[in-house]
Amino acid sequence: METKIKKTIYEWLPEAIVKLDRTITTDYEIIRSVSEYSLSLLQKDNRPKVIDVFKIINMLYQEEHAYTKHCIENEFICNFIENSPALKLKEYLYDMPSPLKEAFIKTLIEL
């Protein structure tokens, strides 16, 4: 069964998940892969593409489904927080759409 997360990421960010098997990959693995992709883009200073990723993740986050929100908080945001330098996190917050930024800050406080 194709979920909203799978459908959206495969359509809008296929380059973020090229190594994943579409038939057996979970939503959590997909979101984690998108997070890793975002971090790699930031290391290459490709900020415009990261902003696009933030917009797509935010679009999914705003769907209001608890499962989707947990998936994004647990795999995208937590991975981002754990693997980014603290000073850079502040910069990234400016690039995030407001709902994603709120989730990011909430998750950061909970960690």
pLDDT (tens digit, 9 = 90+) per residue, 31-62?
999 999 998 988 888 889 988 999 999 999 99
Q: Supply the pLDDT for residue 1.
A: 66
CB 17 within 8 A of CB 34: yes
Q: Supply the pLDDT for residue 2.
A: 81
> Could you give the C-alpha distances from 36 to 13, 76, 78, in angstroms and in order?
12, 8, 11
CB 19 within 8 A of CB 33: yes
Q: What is the mean predicted confidence (pLDDT) over 65-93?
A: 83
- pTM of the entire predicted model: 0.84
Reading phi first (left if > 0) and then psi (alpha if -120 to 50, else beta), residue 85 is in beta
Q: Which residue has the tokens 């960690």?
A: 111
